[in-house]
A and B are shown apart, each in its own frame.
Chain A
Amino acid sequence: MAYEGIITRIGKEKLTEMLRRMLEIRGFEEKIRFLFLEGEMPGTIHQYIGMEACAVGVCSVLEKGDVIASTHRPHGHAIARGLSMDAMMGELYGRATGCCMGKGGSMHMGDLSKGMLPAIAIVGGNIPVVTGMALAFKLRNERRVAVSFFGDGASNEGAFHEGLNMAAVTKAPAVFVCENNLYGASTSIKRALKIENIADRALSYGIRGDIADGMNVLDVYEHAKEAVDRARSAEGPTLLELKTFRLCGHSRRDPNNYMSDEEKEEWKNKDPLPYFENILKNNEIFTGEEIADIKQSVERSVEKAIEFGKGSPEPDPADIRKGLYVTMEVPE
């Protein structure tokens, strides 16, 4: 049976958690998409629908002390890393209970105490930062790993080049996860890159490059595990490219008119959720009913998070001037 080996290795408990997290991301994103379109949710959003296997596959191999950094599209990474959906919803509504106390918003979701840097919305901006976090682990001889998530588009920023090269020469315990969803906003990767595989760029830094199927959480898990294990054992950084796709707009109300119908259709058929569910059913990990039960429970958690977010108190006006400096008040 396909995937039998890896399924046994991962074990039912972890598989359950992986499925649940993927369903949570999907449920969370679909719900807030609706709230956003209804005008109930403030700000702007970049959603992770279709890319769930990437965040969940990678985060499933991480340990407690590891740290991830994300982008303008952080909801999936946050859920996969174990942030509470309540705190995330609080943040989306800009409330005092949010994971960044309402100061960050959708694009800066994160909580360092949970192993996730507040997301950096400057494309490519988190890459050198992750190199630095990894360097700190190395300098202190800690067996921790820092993981950067970024997109295909980010690989064309100067920060990518500098961050990867520096990680290479310092042998920092970092993993650079490039979620290649074939578009940077409306721009097809074909317009922005003359090579097919971003992983090939690893060659120019003298580090390991690898590619996984970003629509298959088990494949992501396997490749991520190797990259993270290597980083942890001081074998240096990896550039891990995940081939994936957005099954949603780039941001806000984007209808993806720059994608062809065939392309959209082709990727819709690779939706990582039914794909994973089928593997689990075929391997008799879960029955259809059991999966339906998990889905129901996820739906309830998302509803509860929305209630929590909406019902949370607004930040205090005095909060504006709090949390900027460690050592002084904000001068007038």
Chain B
Amino acid sequence: MRMGIAEALRKAIHDEMERDKSVFCIGEDIGIPGGYGGAFTVTLGLEKDFRERIIDTPISEAGIFGAACGAAIMGMRPIADVQYGDFLFCAMDQVVDQIAKLRYMSGGKLKVPVVMRAPVGVTGRGAQHSQNLESYFMSCPGIKIVAPATAYDAAGLLKSAVRDDDPVLMFEHKLLYGSKGIRAESGSIDASSDIPEDDYTVPIGRGIIRREGQDITVIGSLLMMHFSLQASQMLEGVGISCEVIDPRTLWPLDLELILGSVKKTGRVVIVEESPKQGGVGAEIGMQIAENIPDYLLAPVTRVAAPNTPAPFSPTLEKLYVPQPERIADTIKRLIEEY
């Protein structure tokens, strides 16, 4: 059945809760009758089938992630979420110092199978509701990070995350959810997929080639994957053939796929919605530069937001987020120069 990301995640969570009684959801406004089903409708209506296991909390992010950590250590499989990724900072100690490190500190004797869900994206709300937090957590050993750009991947990765014995942080994009009704987002992009009725998973740690090409590799996740595809389509007309890679998992990176593609094309542009400083592109780019320097025909190149917080003004916001045109221009320039 055709589903958007919000709907596909809802089905995946439902399936997992049905399959495994140790799975439960914990978060703010996730199962209030007459409410929203979380900030973007992902858990809408799940409380009807699983009242006990949809835990609506006070506004207490440190509490939510700390409780998820404790429950996981004791054998449960919590799915904890924040309404906006930005609020992960309120829970940072629990996520970074507890969830990510307890297993290591125990000498590998315990495990913390928590799933954490966080919406990201610069979407008309100003600096404190817009951050793309991937790079903060990519610098934190102990957590796996997934970032699905399609409904198929979202559901498949959610299931893998729940079944994984390590902590998994899933970033979801506000403009890709396909949330409906009062929670619909303006400027949304269709990320829906045909979701099989039967159980399936998408493996953590495996990227995917979204479009094959010869001249240059373009790497982007979430919204930037869609914008990279759009840029590639624009460039088709001028005879530039782009290979678009969607990493899907940001930690661990699918280096085999990424390096394989760059070996073939010799050029790479990494696109990210967050500031360039210390970003996702810095890590991916350095992996390429370190591992296959001899294959590079052009400098490893990044398209990113400026090194500032997100501005509110829609005019400035549009300049802040890499648009397909900006991505295409960068690619074109790179091909012309090298």
Asked if A94 and B28 sit within 8 Å, CB to CB, the answer is no
Asked if B60 and A158 sit within 8 Å, CB to CB, the answer is yes
A108 at the interface (CB under 8 A from B): yes
Tell me how far the C-beta of B278 lies from the nearest C-beta in chain A, rounded to whole angstroms: 12
Instruction: Report A308-332 residues with CB < 8 Å from chain B CB.
Output: 314-315, 317, 319-321, 324, 330-332
Which residues of chain A are near B33, meaning CB under 8 Å?
A: 258
Interface size of B as a range: 35 or more
Tell me how far the C-beta of B185 lies from the nearest C-beta in chain A, rounded to whole angstroms: 10
A120 at the interface (CB under 8 A from B): yes
Which residues of chain A are near B56, meaning CB under 8 Å?
A: 187, 191
Asked if A154 and B59 sit within 8 Å, CB to CB, the answer is yes
Considering the chains assembled together, what is the distance between the CA atoms of A270 and B307 in angstroms? 48
- Among A10-18, A131-139, A224-232, A249-257, the one that faces the other chain is A249-257
Asked if B58 and A184 sit within 8 Å, CB to CB, the answer is yes
Asked if A257 and B126 sit within 8 Å, CB to CB, the answer is no
Asked if B315 and A315 sit within 8 Å, CB to CB, the answer is yes
Asked if B32 and A258 sit within 8 Å, CB to CB, the answer is yes
Interface string of A253-273 (1 = CB under 8 A from B): 111011100000000000000
Given contacts A154-B59, A257-B35, contact A105 B312 (CB under 8 A): yes
Which residues of chain B are near A175, meaning CB under 8 Å?
A: none
Residue in chain A with minimal CB distance to B39: A185
A156 at the interface (CB under 8 A from B): yes
Asked if B315 and A253 sit within 8 Å, CB to CB, the answer is no
Asked if B311 and A102 sit within 8 Å, CB to CB, the answer is yes
Contact of A105 among B126, B186, B308 (CB under 8 A): B126
B74 at the interface (CB under 8 A from A): no
Grouping DSSP codes into helix (H, G, I), strand (E, B) and loop, the B interface class, with mixed when no group exceeds half, is: loop
Asked if B87 and A122 sit within 8 Å, CB to CB, the answer is yes
B90 at the interface (CB under 8 A from A): yes
Which residues of chain B are near A324, meaning CB under 8 Å?
A: 308-309
Considering the chains assembled together, what is the distance between the CA atoms of A38 and B56 in angstroms? 33
A8 at the interface (CB under 8 A from B): no
Contact of B313 among A103, A153, A159, A187 (CB under 8 A): A103
Residue in chain B with minimal CB distance to A39: B186
Residue in chain A with minimal CB distance to B305: A320
Which residues of chain B are near A331, meaning CB under 8 Å?
A: 277, 307
A173 at the interface (CB under 8 A from B): no
Tell me how far the C-beta of A295 lies from the nearest C-beta in chain B, rounded to whole angstroms: 30
Considering the chains assembled together, what is the distance between the CA atoms of A320 and B122 in angstroms? 14
Tell me how far the C-beta of B136 lies from the nearest C-beta in chain A, rounded to whole angstroms: 16
Contact of B125 among A43, A122, A187, A332 (CB under 8 A): A43
Query: Which residues of A approach B to under 8 Å, CB–CB?
Result: 39, 42-44, 91, 94-95, 100, 102-108, 120-124, 153-154, 156-159, 184-188, 191-193, 252-255, 257-259, 314-315, 317, 319-321, 324, 330-332
- 5 A-B residue contacts at CB 8 Å? A94-B316, A104-B126, A254-B182, A330-B306, A331-B307
Q: Which 7 A-B pairs have the closest CB atoms?
A: A105-B312, A94-B313, A186-B35, A257-B34, A156-B58, A258-B34, A102-B313
